[in-house]
Amino acid sequence: MRDLLVTMVQTNLVWEDKRANLAMLSRKIDAIAERTHIIILPEMFSTGFSMNPSTLSETMDGATVDWMRNMAIRKKCILTGSIIIEEDGRFYNRLIWMLPNGQFGYYDKRHCFSLAGEHLHYSPGSKRLIASVNGWRVNLCICYDLRFPVWSRQQLASEALQPEFDALVYVANWPDRRISAWNALIPARAIENQCYVIGVNRVGEDGQGLHHSGHSQVVDPMGAICSTIRDSEDIVTVTLDRSFLEDVRTRMPFWRDADSFEIG
């Protein structure tokens, strides 16, 4: 089991302008010089958190998924973030997990943000996606999912009786007016699941006049902040320490005493 390198891209987004956002992100990703396993973009990185899916959505063979494939192949790493997808007449806030060989998995946001009317425009997902990379298992979530701990709660893998995943990822458009909740809940998810948590948020003002102050961060299994980006555009690569994770779980195996449950 080796360490995992994750790169957080905290950036402003051009409101509902896919061409401008993809051009901007291409420049930023191409400028990443250090080695990494995963590059993580914010929620709805090509449009901002828009409630106009009928105008902005794409299919899975559309331009943005193709862009993600080309970038992942070019950078020889995984690229992930969420975009607006139309499928079978429904719209989804869909996280794409694009592999460097051009194959991908995806996760549809389970908890639609009703305060902004997201539930009126997008269909919720029903399945979790736990991906594998470099010997790590990564549970992938989107923004508002952070407020619902059952959805991201660690379960014991039935055969090995080991934790189900090693890291949680949240991609977000989390506004500054509620950033205190973001800063409190990310460490909580890390402590209760005894895993690393990576939260990647945007900065800047969106088309609804909401300011986003970033605070993208990596938190370790003890709830300590490994790295954080404040209210600015930046790209930061962080090493997730496998030996530290295993040591925490061995010395303090709280995960063994967790309640069993099923998600309906």
187-208: pLDDT as tens digits = 999 999 999 999 999 999 999 9
Mutual orientation of helices 18-30 and 63-75 as an angle, nearest 10°?
Answer: 0
| pTM metric for this prediction | 0.97
146-180: pLDDT as tens digits = 999 999 999 876 566 789 999 999 999 999 999 99
What is the assigned CATH class of domain 4-257?
A: alpha beta
Q: How far is residue 146's CA from residue 165's CA, in Å, rounded to a whole number?
A: 16
What are the sequence ranges of the domains in the chain? 4-257
The catalytic site residues sit at 43, 109, 143
